[in-house]
Structure 1
Amino acid sequence: MTLVAHVRELRARLVKALLALALGTAVGFLWYDRGLLEFLSEPYCALPAELRFEGDGECRLVVLDVFGGVLLRLKIAVVAGAVLSAPLWLYQLWAFITPGLRRGERRYTVAFVAASSLLFALGACLAYLTLRKGLELLLSLAGDEVAFQLTAPDYVGFVLSLLVAFGLSFELPLIAVALNLVGVLSHAALAASRRWIFFLTIVFAAFITPTQDPFTMLAMALPMLVLFEGAIQLARVVDRRRARREAIESFHDIGDDEASPLDAAPSEVAAPSWAELHRY
């Protein structure tokens, strides 16, 4: 394909991806009043009564300006639309990249997209489960003399940033696996840098968590350490298979009438046991 043909295909893929996002956003806009906002505000409403605002005896989030409610609904609808339409726009991205890949690389691409989606979902779920404890710890530090009245845009922005931070952080070990699969990063380099990887993971979790509390930081850091260790062990398996494959392929360039190179060095022989000596 020419450069102009590539640009035209990219434009067509982007239009389809944006249409999928618009359709998902419309679904999220309608879903807003049917449990979506309640789902996002549930960790806040589960806090003790002294740490949240109640209006008419029910848990309420406050909007302080005229356009705050509209912007809040649009923000939640766009994020929900991006999540709902992810299979469609990810397919458009994959369909644009696939023609330039080899058959083995296409297999890795499908596995990479599936694994990245799963890891992002796991990170977001973990963030949602730890959200209540993080909020309770942060709000309780202000003391009993302080009354809280969180605004809806600030709270929803905080929740979405936490979900995205956890989801993206869980993608980092997958990047290490991808670099190992393409031969850029070896298991030896990963194993030698294990201490630095673990240390930088904890530092990263301390800076990336919006709550900045130790509970949320550990909730992010510990699963990331487990994922990184899994990535290191997976790199070990991949490098061993690659070494065996290269050892086999090294004989393909030898002619049929040419002797294969052999290692003439003697191998170690185990000493016979007493039972074997007595038998002879």
Structure 2
Amino acid sequence: AARLLAADKPLPLAAALTLLAFVPLLASGASALVLRPRPAKSTGTEPGTDRTGEPEAPAPAPSGLPWGVALLAAGLAVETYASRSGGGIGSGGFPMPGGADGSPAGVLAGWALTALGLVFAGPGLTHLCGRILQAVRPGAVRLLAGRVLQEEARRIGRPLGVLCAVASGAYASVVLYAGPSPAVGPLTALGALLVAGCAVLTLATAAIEARQSRSDTTAALLRLGAPATMLRGTAALRAGALAAVFGPLTWLVAELAALPLVR
């Protein structure tokens, strides 16, 4: 590990300044620019109503779900074909850093297509969760939770898809490289932690943005006498519905992705 990280060589001054100053400052500036507070535009209407005072119609369903399913199927098919023709991991091909050498390029392309399919399908699946919550004579809690999921499907759907892609890739990697001495180097572990952390933080940022965007609606519900426990219940119901849909999907994609490679 010390030889891989070049521990016996001094770090150049420019590299140290770049790592310790430039990259964090650039990331902080970009985050501050994206998340800067914006003045709310007053339309003169109550939250949840249009300009005529009528209740707003539900947000239209995102159109990326069929494309996401198609990309998922294509990625799994490419990965299966590449693993059969190339002999799987370790049989030669595109070299991966950190110890995962000899990965066939077709397998990596299949993983990339699968991840892209999850990202495309995320908003549609989130909108579908909202529709399921509102099915079969919903009460106030289910109706409010489903409507919020439909409204925020595009905002939180893609970060959810990215997180599912990262989780499925991590699960498949654990299945592939499980053993007493897995061939995973320190750079691979560091890169995996960085990717997973970025995916989690992106989803958390999208959730905070969604919460801030409906702050007027929440305040209006509280003024009308809605109990705070009902709002917390809708939040828990939304989280449970998303976990019930995206959790099994992530496990299924990871199992299907790892199945042709362990044979």
Bin of the TM-score, shorter chain as denominator length: 0.3 to 0.5
* Structure of higher CA gyration radius: 1
* TM-score, L = length of structure 1: 0.34
* TM-score, L = length of structure 2: 0.36
